[in-house]
Amino acid sequence: MLESIGYPGWALTALIVVPLIGMVAVLAGDEARAKHTALGFTLVNALLSLPLWFGFNAASGGMQFAVNAPWIPGWGIWYRLGVDGISVLLVLLLTMLMPLAVLGSYRYITRRERAFYANMLLLETGVVGAFMALDMFLFFVFFELMLVPMYFIIGIWGGERRVYAAIKFFLFTGVGSLLMLVGILYLFFKHRALTGDASFAYFDLLRVPLTFT
């Protein structure tokens, strides 16, 4: 039945897009309804992710439910998504925990609620995208995307030393992101030098020999 409506061909993209739509809905709606809107969209995402578990073939290795579409093909950047036996569990864990996180915040988030729940939904988009990305440029985009709402959540709604914690978070993740970007670019240019092909695909860069001489 799921195959008849094209599932799960569009499912991985839907898991990324639904929280983004929810973020817009939260920002456009009333402050009093922000938490309920966020809860509704996180529940929709949780339901969308469930068939991944039932449709996943544990006996088959490699990535499943793959999505491949050109993004910036001249630079070898594609919109590539997929899940394996580990990442499918991480996706399910995230989508199941997000409604609980929203529910758990009901009593504690009493100011700037729209901004908080919008950041929570943006965070879900970034994390789920990072779990599923099979293009290293796309992975980097999602990784950076999830750091932005985390910074604001810590800095605005954190504890007594939230500003200090947010600055420290920014510095540590900023340095880590820069080093990761350098590593990705090194693999990209090394792969292009060896093969003549520009590609940020995870499995292409995985085969690049790491020689520093």
User: Looking at the 3D structure of the chain, how many domains does it have?
Assistant: 1
Q: In a 3-state reduction of DSSP, which class is residue 78?
A: strand
The answer as to whether 48 is a domain residue is yes
Q: Is the pLDDT of residue 65 over 60?
A: yes
Beta bridge partners of residue 23, listed in sequence order: none
Question: Is the residue at 213 inside a domain?
Answer: no
Q: How many CB atoms lie within 10 A of CB 179?
A: 10
Strands (E), the chain: 64-72, 77-83
pTM: 0.89
Collapsed DSSP state (helix, strand, coil) of residue 207: coil
Contact 165, 158 (CB under 8 A): yes
What residue numbers bound the domain in which 163 lies? Answer: 3-206
- CA 199 remoteness from chain centre: 21
pLDDT of residue 11 exceeding 80: yes
Check pLDDT > 70 for residue 16.
Answer: yes
Q: For residues 184 and 177, give the distance between their C-alpha atoms in angstroms, rounded to a whole number.
A: 10
98 lies in a domain? yes
Q: Give the chain's mean pLDDT.
A: 90
Please check whether residue 81 lies inside any domain of the structure: yes
| Cβ atoms < 10 Å from Cβ of 104 | 11
Residue 166 lies in a domain: yes
| Residue 211 covered by a domain | no
pLDDT over 70, % of the chain:
95
User: Residue 140 falls within a domain, yes or no?
Assistant: yes
Asked whether residue 212 is assigned to any structural domain, the reply reads: no
